[in-house]
Chains A and B, each alone.
Chain A
Amino acid sequence: MLTIDNLHANAGDKAILKGISLTVNAGEVHAIMGPNGSGKSTLAQVIAGHPGFEVTKGSITYVGQDLLEMDPEVRAQQGVFLAFQYPVEIPGVTNAYFLRSAYNELRKAHGKEEMDPMEFLDLMEQKLKVVDMDPAMLQRSVNAGFSGGEKKRNEILQMAVLEPKLAILDETDSGLDIDALRVVAGGVNALKRPDNATIVVTHYQRLLNHIVPDFVHVLAGGKIVKSGGKELALELEAKGYDWLVGTA
C-alpha cells in the first residue's frame, strides 16, 4: 500500500529526514517510535502533505501512485488520514458542518452524490458510538475549547467518518489519561480492517498495549535505526532509546 524509499525532507534549511525507507501493506499496523526530535512527527506530516516540509530526495508510492505529486486534499480523498498531534481549533465552523464537508468532498472525488444533512446525521449517530462521544459535540465549533482528550477523540471521529485506507496517528496518546487512551485506542481498533493500514507514531509504549503493532520501527536522527516486532516496543520501554540512538 505504502512504499517509502530513501526519503529526505527539510524544514527550511534544516534536514530532518535523512533517508527513510519503509513498506506498509494492507492489514498491517506499524509503530514508529523514537526520542523527541528524531523526525517521527515530520514523517507523519510529510506523508499527509504538510506544506512546511520540503522533500529533497526519495519517493513515496501509495497504492501505485506518486503520493508526493498529490495535493494534501487529494491524498485525503485517496484515503490518507493524519490524526494530528495538535488538532487545530476552528471557531465558527461546527463539527457537523466540517465533517459533512469533508465527507462530501470524499464522495464527490469518488463520483458519488453528496449526502444531505439529515442522512448525514443518521450516519453520525453510528460513528459517534465508535469514540463514545456526546452528539452535542457535533454542534460545537471544531476543536474550539475542547479538552486535550476531546480533541483526540474528535480526530478519531473524523477517521471513523472518512474511513481511510491509510491512517497515521501522530502522538495520539500524548496528553491522554488512561480512560481516554482506552476509548481512542478502542476506536482505532474498531476501524481496523484487512484492507486498511495504520501507522502509529508514539514516544511511549503504553499506547501499543491497546493498539498492538505488527512491526515497530525506531527512528533516530532522521533514519530508521532498528525494526522489529511488537516485542521491540517492550524492550524500548525497559531500556530507553539511548542504546539505539548511539548507532544513528
Chain B
Amino acid sequence: MNAPAATRYAEAFGQLDTAAAPPWLAALRTAALAEFNALGFPTTRNEDWHFTSVTPIADRTFRNATSTGTPTAAEILALTVGDASWPRAVFVNGQCDPTLSTLGALTTAGVRVSTLTAAIKDTPEFVADHLGKLATFSAQAFTAFNTAFAQDGLVVHVPRSLVVDLPLHIIHVADAQAAGCMLHPRLLVVAEPLSQFNIVESFVSLNGTEYFTNAVAEISVGDGARVHHHKVQRESTEAFHVGTVQVSQGRNSLFHSFSYASGAALSRTNIYTRLLGEAAETRLNGLYLVDGTQHADHQTWVEHIAPSCASRELYKGILDGHAHGVFNGKVFVDPEAQKTDGKQSNHVLLLSPTARVDAKPQLEIFADDVKCTHGSTVGRLDELALFYMKSRGIGDENSRALLTYAFAADVLETVELDALRNGLERIAFERFTHSTQL
C-alpha cells in the first residue's frame, strides 16, 4: 500500500527550483500543495469521478521531469496535426524548448506571448493578476497538483481589438526521458475585449512510455472577444492524461472548444466555462476514439451566470475493443440567467460488444425562462446504411469502415481551422479504413 499523496510528493516538491519565484507565487504553490495534500487523488466515491478510477495514477509515484531530450522539429511536426508554418511553442517533457519554438510571427502581429518563467520575470504583475484566478484549485485535486508543481508554461496576452488569424500551436511532447515522470504544463490566455485568437494544444509522444500529463489552461475571453481552443490529445497509449481547461466569458463573447482524444491509457479532459456576461456563446465539441483497454473521460461544465447566453455542445465517441468512454455534461443555470438557450448532445458508436460507455447529462436549472435540452445515444452501425453501401458493391469491411468514419465526420466539421480539420479528418479516416485516400 502506498503512502498518502502528501508524503509521496513532499520530496518532489522540495526538489523544485523555486529560487526565482516571487513571494506571491511561492505562497500560491504552497497553498496549492496543501490543498492537494488535503484532498488526495479523487476516488470513485467523488461524484465527479464516479465512472473514472484514477487508481493507476494514484498508485504510482511520478518524478519531476528534469532532463529534456533533443527531438528535432521534423520529428515533432510529424507527430502533430495542423500546418507546419503555424507559430509554435514546443514543450519537451514539460520544458519550453526555444530552439524548437517559432513565435516571431505572433509577436510581430502584436500578441504578447512568453513562457511562464519569462513572464514571471518580465510582467510579474500581469501574471500575478491572472494566474490561478480562473483555474482555482479549491476541491480540485489535479488543478491543485498542477498549480503546486507547474514549472513552465505559456502566458498569452491578446490586446484589445487585435484580430489574429495565425493560430498559436502549443506542442507538448514527451520523449523517452519522460518515462516515470509527471508533466504539469500550464497555459494562461487573456484575450482582451474584441480580440480574436485561435489556439491549438497538441499532446504527443515520441515513444510509447509511461508518464503522467496533468495540464491546466485558463482562458479569459473578454467582452466581444472570440477564442477557439483546440485540444488534440494523442499521448502514448501507456500514458496518463488529465487536462483541465477553465474559461470565463464576458459579454457577447464566443468561446469554442474542440477536444480530440485518441491517446493515453487513461485520460480525463475537463472543459469548464463560466458565462459571466450577457449574450455570450459557448460551443463545446469533442471526439473520442479509443480501443484496446483505453479509458477516455470528458467532463464539461457550462455555468450560465448571465442572462441570454447560448451553449451548444456536441460530443461523439467511437469505442472499440474493451475501451471505456465516459461523458458527463453539466449545465448549470443561475436564477439570474433568464433566456438561457442550452443544447447538449453526446452520441456514441460501439464497435465491439465489450466496449462500454457511461454518459451522464446533468442539468441544474434555477431560472424559469430557459430552453435547455440534452440528447444522448449509444448505438451500433445502422443496418440500413450498411445495406445501402453493400447494395452498391462495397464489401462488408469497407462499408463498416466508411460508416464509422462518417459517424465522426459532423463533429470534425465544427473545427474551423482548415489545416487542423483536414488533418484530423485524415487521421480518423486512416484509422478506420486503413486507407490514405479521403
Which residues of chain A have a CB within 8 Å of any CB of chain B? 48-52, 71-73, 75-77, 81-82, 84, 87-88, 90-93, 97-98, 101-102, 105-106, 109, 117, 141, 158, 162
Contact = CB atoms under 8 A, between A and B. Distances in A.
Contact of B393 (A77, A92, A93): A77
Contact of A84 (B382, B388, B398): B388
* Max count, chain A CB within 10 A of own CB: residue among B405, B409, B410: B409
Contacts of A93: 402-403, 405-406, 409
A74 to B, nearest CB: 8
Given A97-B438, A102-B394, A109-B393, A50 B387 contact: yes
B405 A158 contact: no
Nearest to B428: A92
Nearest to A84: B388
Contact of A90 (B385, B391, B437): B385
Interface of B: 382-385, 387-396, 398-399, 402-403, 405-410, 412, 437-438
Contacts of B438: 97
* Max count, chain B CB within 10 A of own CB: residue among A50, A101, A117, A158: A101
Contacts of B410: 91-92
B239 to A, nearest CB: 29
Interface of B is mostly: helix
A48 B403 contact: no
Nearest to A50: B387
Nearest to B410: A91
Nearest to B396: A73
A90 B395 contact: no
9 contacts: A48-B391, A72-B391, A73-B391, A73-B394, A88-B388, A90-B385, A91-B409, A92-B410, A117-B437
B437 A162 contact: no
Nearest to A78: B393
B392 A158 contact: yes
A125 to B, nearest CB: 20
Given A71-B396, A84-B388, A93-B409, 17 more contacts: A49-B390, A49-B391, A72-B390, A73-B391, A75-B391, A81-B391, A88-B388, A91-B410, A92-B408, A92-B410, A93-B402, A93-B403, A93-B406, A105-B394, A105-B395, A109-B393, A141-B406
B393 A88 contact: no
B437 A73 contact: no
The 10 A-B residue pairs whose C-beta atoms are closest, nearest first, are: A92-B409, A92-B406, A76-B393, A102-B392, A88-B388, A72-B390, A73-B390, A105-B393, A77-B393, A88-B385
A101 B402 contact: yes
B392 A162 contact: yes
A91 B385 CA distance: 11
B381 to A, nearest CB: 11
Contacts of A102: 392-394
Contacts of A92: 405-410, 412
A87 B391 contact: no
Contacts of A51: 383, 387
B392 A76 contact: yes
A158 B388 CA distance: 12
A98 B396 contact: no
Contacts of B387: 48-51, 72
A129 B30 CA distance: 73
A90 B406 contact: yes
Given A51-B383, A97-B438, A101-B398, A76 B390 contact: yes
Nearest to A143: B388
B192 to A, nearest CB: 37
A59 to B, nearest CB: 20
Contacts of B409: 91-93, 141
Nearest to B413: A92
A49 B437 CA distance: 29
Contacts of B405: 92-93
A49 B392 CA distance: 11
A103 to B, nearest CB: 8
Contacts of B393: 73, 76-77, 102, 105-106, 109, 162
A83 to B, nearest CB: 10
A46 to B, nearest CB: 12
A166 to B, nearest CB: 12
A44 to B, nearest CB: 11
Contacts of B437: 117
B396 to A, nearest CB: 7
A93 to B, nearest CB: 5
Contacts of A141: 406, 409
B402 A73 contact: no
B262 to A, nearest CB: 17
Contacts of B406: 90-93, 141
A158 B392 CA distance: 8
A101 B391 contact: no
B432 to A, nearest CB: 11
A90 B437 CA distance: 18
A77 B393 CA distance: 5
A75 to B, nearest CB: 8
A77 B388 CA distance: 14
B242 to A, nearest CB: 30
* Max count, chain B CB within 10 A of own CB: residue among A49, A102, A117: A102
A117 to B, nearest CB: 7
Given A101-B394, A105-B393, A117-B437, A90 B384 contact: no
B413 to A, nearest CB: 8
A71 B390 contact: yes
Nearest to A75: B391
A77 to B, nearest CB: 5
Contacts of A101: 394, 398, 402
